[in-house]
Structure 1
Amino acid sequence: MSTETAANEPGMPLRDRLRAHGARSWYIGAGSGLIWQVILVFDVLFLDGPVVSKVLGLLLLAVLYALFMLLGPILWVESVRTRLIAVAAYWAASFLLFPLIGPVAIWMWLLVVSLVAFINLPLRLAIGFSVLVILVQGAIGASVGFTLGLVFAPMVTAVGAATFIGLGLISRTNVTLRGANEEIARLAVVEERARFSRDLHDVLGHSLTVVTMKSELARRLITIDPAKAELEIADIERLTRSALADLRLAVSNYRETTVDAELVAAKTALAAAGIQSHLPESVPAIDPRQQGVFAWVLREGVTNVIRHSGATACWVTIDHRSLTVADDGRGPGATLSDAPVPGNGLRGLRERSAAAAAELLVGQSPQGGFQLVVRGAA
């Protein structure tokens, strides 16, 4: 039995605590525990003594049993001090049974150690309190010569306490694990959203930039050279279809980018923007683990050259360990090593680079413009 979710907040009203989802588990477990108290009830019925004492004893037992059922969900989220005081008060109230039914009342303390185990007390406090209850049981049993079978009461309570405390630990561990799993799931969703936003930016940002450039070119050509303008418009249509296909693949998580494919796209995009391109004729062998991030850096670098640099030329150099995109535009006004990484695109590239064990650097190019470098591990 557990009250792990009986109440979620310390300020929850009493009625809500008693009706909370986890309270049901406690009621089932606590009700099962009360079945064993039938033995004590029969002991009281067959004790020698006044009927009035038996009746009052049974009424007090009923009150204590009802309190036992209610205290679990009520105390679960209270402070340690409040929980400890409440259990101590419950134990003290059970002493009222002794004048009515005698030392056989110590059998009721099995419920006390059960409460101690399941109200989320620190382990040391739970063990210490249970040991105290068992020692007092033993002392009371010894004081009457362990009549009425009281020799078994401390033994049963000790076994019960050990079992209950162990079950309580398991229950709390399960709660912690559930919380950890929920947090892992939440972080996975956050990471997936970040991944998708990076992919969406990288896929559409480049394509839409090229479409914009070609649209501007087509608008200028439409009165000067309609035939060439028509070719540019056809190319725009092809690019939009390609962007839509890329988007669908990205959503399906099947999209693979390669440096070779991005070089072809870069040549087309730079030409459309009127920027002279200096691209390698071939691509050297690149570590497969870093092929993807090199391709994304090439795409984002060329997109930034077209959008922001005001450059007239762009240089791309590639070797087996690094890829560099440089231009002769306005430049970042910063060194290669300490330049900040602005924009969602470059921030996404830095995240991709770190995930691929690569390093991303931005700074000023030898031509005076902007330079973007990605370096793989040695």
Structure 2
Amino acid sequence: MRKLIILLMILTVPASVFALGESFKRVGPMDVIKFKSGTYEIVGYIVEEDDESVTIIPERGGRLKIPRKVIGDIQHDAKEPKWISADEMVEGFTSQLLKLVEERSSFRVAKVTDKTVYLNTGKGKMDRTGWKANVYREGGEIVDPVTGDTLGREKQLVGTIQIVGEAETYSEALPVDTTVDVFREGDVGVFLRKKPTLVIANLTTVDGTESPFGKTISEGIIGKLSKSEHLTVLEPNQIGTLADELARQNAALDQTPSALEGQAAPNSGDSMLSTMQKLKADAVLVGTVGAAPREETATSENAYGDSRTVRTTRGSVSIRILDTKSGAVLYGGHYLVTYVERESHDGANY
């Protein structure tokens, strides 16, 4: 019989690697929800179903409660999670992020129905399905008292939406932890501002300790993003002790029920939000890896007697990018990652 398991914000390695008192994990084939409108679908793990709605933890993070009336079909256990190399994970994650900051990063709510929030931004260079964004309502003008120049408008946070599908000229989104009726036509949303500053903290284990595996992932992401002229990257050593503090706070959130269900509580936690607001940055990248990723070691010798050890580390990686002003999760990903190290002994012959 199919068993629905409340899961960690990380695709899991065996449950014994997590020191969490309960068996929170994400295992086995993923579920697929197809929508009545368009060809959109969401892949993830369904954690709750009733006559009115279906709640799913998408593979890209978040938690969506989807009304039955917009669902066309549900396929259980339809898609196997995929193991990828560390290089593939870094390349895929950074390329998606760079496409986001290089493209249009703001939008407006074009239409609101009893089911869906429609946005005036469609397909571009990337698939934004699964991305989250804050939506604001503009208020009165802010005027410079000396020059009389209009500096902008007041903005009030309305809520967070998650894109569930994209057409050529518009996107469909569902609200996260709120209802459709709080949004209005003309509300404005922002993914990331033009040329944002992004702080990258080292990925830790789920109990907040240093992880060589996580550090390898962090360094790979830093190396890729630092080459871009479209954003400014701040490394852990550039923000001092705040980097370690953020990493610990994020790991603690990964052990709370709401974080285990794929979202920070209430956004990223009050203490973590306070820490992020000390940063002169637009967003922060944090993440965790399995506390003890599975490791396999094989040693071989060549004809000269020289030996080589190949060490394969398998672990789960969870990454999220948080807005430093509100704490909202802008983007998240969960990956099953394989990292291969080769160590030669006495031998230039390998």
Larger strand fraction of residues: 2
* TM-score, reference length from structure 2: 0.20
Higher helix share: 1
